[in-house]
Structure 1
Amino acid sequence: MSPLYPRLWRFCLMQTGRRDRADDLAQMTCLRALEKHAGYQAGTHLDRWLFRIAHRLWLNELRATAVRTGGGLVALEETEIPDQRVNTETNIFARQVFSKVGELPESQRVTVLLVYVEGFAYKEAAEILNIPIGTVMSRLAAARKKIAGELAETETGT
């Protein structure tokens, strides 16, 4: 297995919130990449190209689901975020943060995943999402503010 596939699958899991959907999205992404291989420019970043394909496929799926059912978002209770078992306190905090990330609007959530989880630079994330770099920065700032505020509220019990 390519070392890129686990990163792609993790990206798909964070977008879909469920392992079965992540499997399907990762496979659809690989299939689409094979079908559109002529569109890949040799010497460029393969991971960015695959993440862009996965993101577009997921957005298409959300739109199709919204049309069919009037929804399209995955309920937080249905998400399957893997537990890495570092220690109890770290796991609790990580779970809280991932839970808050999962509650972010789609655009902020995907931007957070690309920059903070996958480690892409702002410019790279902007290219993957096909948005201006300023939009990436504002989405990240809004996400950080929202998550920090909600975690602070949880800690103080207000």
Structure 2
Amino acid sequence: MKIQSILSLMLIAGALGQKEGKPERCVDDALTKYDDVNKREALCNGSSDRYRLGINEYRRFALWDDDKMVELFAKQGDDLSIHEESGGKRVSLTLTDKYDDVVWQIKCSGLDGGSAKLQVRDSSSSTVRFRQGSTDLWTVDRYGDDDINQSYCEYDT
């Protein structure tokens, strides 16, 4: 009886852990308004692909360090994209679900203008960096701690 209980618990724990599985496909190391990241895809840092920001098959939008999920930003995501308005004076980083409803979003306004970019790098201070020109809008360190530039941006979900 005890062995069956232990095996059942191990199966449950294994199934729960699968939801943390990283996205397997690296599409690039950066995202601009012309691209998007879909389910099972990630932005990865260069040649090592150690850090991945993306959406896994269970629709978790998160940051992974190798095979370990270090920060979960949102659930039920299917598409991550950047939107720019008024020549880049307003930008947003938006995660939508399969019905195009916004699941998670960062909106920024009052910017100088230009193109925004989301990048994944092998850096301890800012592994993930959403920026416009030299202005950091949102950063995430390798431990998953994020920082939003409150002078321009806010979470809108």
TM-score calculated relative to the size of structure 1: 0.26
TM-score calculated relative to the size of structure 2: 0.26
Question: Which structure is higher in helix share?
Answer: 1
Question: Which structure is higher in strand share?
Answer: 2
* Higher relative contact order, chain-length normalized (CA < 8 Å, sep 6+): 1
